A and B are shown apart, each in its own frame.
Chain A
C-alpha cells in the first residue's frame, strides 16, 4: 500500500506540472492540431492480419515483459512489427499529457484507469470499435473504460482489494471462518487484539494519500456513490456515505486500528503479528512472503470485504487504449483485441502475474489452483472504480485530507461527509 502512496504523490505532482503547462500553451494551439480535426474514429475492425509498424507504450514491469507477449502477435501476423517502449511509473502521467499536447503519441498504450477521463477529455483516445466484445470482462473493470457513454479501449489487467489475515493468529483468537458482515469484521479485529496478542486488530490507513481506496469500498457497500448517475454532481454528503465513514472511524475510536503506527510497515507488522490484518491488493501476498519467508506463506489468508448492503471492493489495474492520431489504427485495434483474448490473458498472467480482466481466463489452472487468487476473482464480481471524471485526482486528495481529520482528530463522519462534498463541489467534476 505504501509504495502506491509514493507513486501516487509523484503522479499527482506531475499532473499539476503538466496541467499548468497545458493551460499556458492551450491558447496558442493552432486549429490544425486540435483533436477535432484528427482522423475519424474507427468504427469496426477490418478483416485480415495486422500489418505495418506499431509503437506501444507500457509502464514499468509491464513494459519490460510486454515484448515477450507481442512476439507471439508478430508470429501470428507476419506483416506487423511491434515496438514496445517501457515508461517509468513515476512520471508516466506527465509523459502522456506532454505527448498529447505535442502530438507525439504512440499507436497504442497501457494507461492507468484513473487517467481515462482526462485523456478522453483532451480528445486523445479512439472510441472502442464494434469488433471488440466487451461482455467477457469484469463489469467493474469494463466501467473504467467508459467516459460518459463512450467506451475507450479495453481493461487489460485488474486488481482488487481483500482483507488479509494471519491464519495462525485467527485460530488463536478463536476465529474459524472468516467474517462475512461488518459486525463480524469488527469482532474479528477485536478478538485479534484481545486474544491473539496483537497491538491493533487491523491495519487501516488513517487518512493521507490513497486512503480513499480503502474507505470508498465501505461507503459503496453502504450504498453510497461518488456522483449522481449523470456524473455531473458529486454526492458525498449522503447518509450512506456517512455510514461508511462512521464504520471506518469506529475502528480508530475503538482502538482496533492505530493512528500511531510507523507508516510503510504494513508487511513488517503483519509478519511480526503486531497488526495481523490489513486490506490491500494481490501484490501484498508476494511482499509479505518476501519479508517473512517460507514460514509465513501458509499463514497468509484472504477473504472478501464484509457485507453491508453489498460487499463492494475497489477495482484498479490498467486499460489498453488506441490513440486517435495513430496512422495504423486498424492494426492497433487488432493488437488490442488479441491482448484481450482469454488465451493471451492467461499467458500474460504467467509472464507478469497481472490478473486477467477477462473472466474466462481465470479458469486457467495457473490461477484456479492458487490458494489465494480465486478469492480475488470472486471479489472482482463486485468491485467498483471511481467514475472517469477529469478532476478525480484533485477530489481524491481532498477526500484523503478529510479522512485524516476524521481518523486522527475525531472529526465527526457527518462533518467529514459535508466537508468532502463542499471541497469536491468547488473543484467540480470537470465536465
Chain B
C-alpha cells in the first residue's frame, strides 16, 4: 500500500465511524453496563449488583416469562404463516392460471390483486392498530367481526376479541400476518419472475401438476428469498410492540395475555422505574436476535443452483 493512504481513508471514515460508535455501539454497551446495576432511571446514583437482574428475569412469572412465551409463539407462527401465504399467493398470481399455448400464466387480474395485497404495507403501523382495534371491538361497540359472526348465527366473544385472554394473541398475530403478507407476495413474485419459464414448460410437458411444480422447481429456486424473508420476519416478530401497545387493553393485557418482550422492556423502564432490569431484558433480546440471525444463516445455507 502506498504511503499515506491509510490516514487518507481514515480521515474520511472518522466521522461516520465516530457517529456510529457514539449513537449505536455506545448505547448498546451502556445497556450491558446498566443491566448490572440497580439503576431506576430517574436518578444519577446506582450500585452494581452483578447478575441479579438476569437471575430475577427468569423468575418473573408476571411479565417476563409470559412475554418470552408469547414472543416465542410469534417467532414461530408469524414467519411460517406469512411465508406460506406469501408463497402461495405469489405462485397463484404468477403460475396459477391456465396454460395457454404452452405458456403458463397467473390467475386472472393478477396485477390488480398484487396492488390490493400490497395496500396494508402502505399504512403506518399506528393506523393499522387503530383500524383493527375497531374491527375486533365488541359487537355493541361497532365491532366488525363480532357483528358479522352474530349476524350469521355464530358465537362471538361478547367483549370483543382483544378483551378475551384466549384470543388476544391470535388476533394480534393475524393483524401482523395481514400487514406483512402483501410485501412478501410482491417480494416472492419478483423472485419467481427470474425463474426461467422453460423449466416450467418442461415440467408441464413431463406431466407435472401444480403441486410438484411448486415443490420441485419454485421452492428450491426461491430458497435464498425465503431465507431472507425468514430473517426479516423474525426480526419483526422480536420487535412486535407497537401493535400490542396500540391495540390491547393495558398494553399487553388482558391480564398479561399478550405481553411481548419489547412491551415488557418499555413497562419496566417507564412504568416501573426499573431501567436496569429493563436493560437486562434488552440484552437478552439482543442476544436472541443475534443468535437467531446466525443460526438461520448457517442452517439455511444450501447449495446454490445456477440458472
Whether A and B are associated in the same complex: the answer reads: no
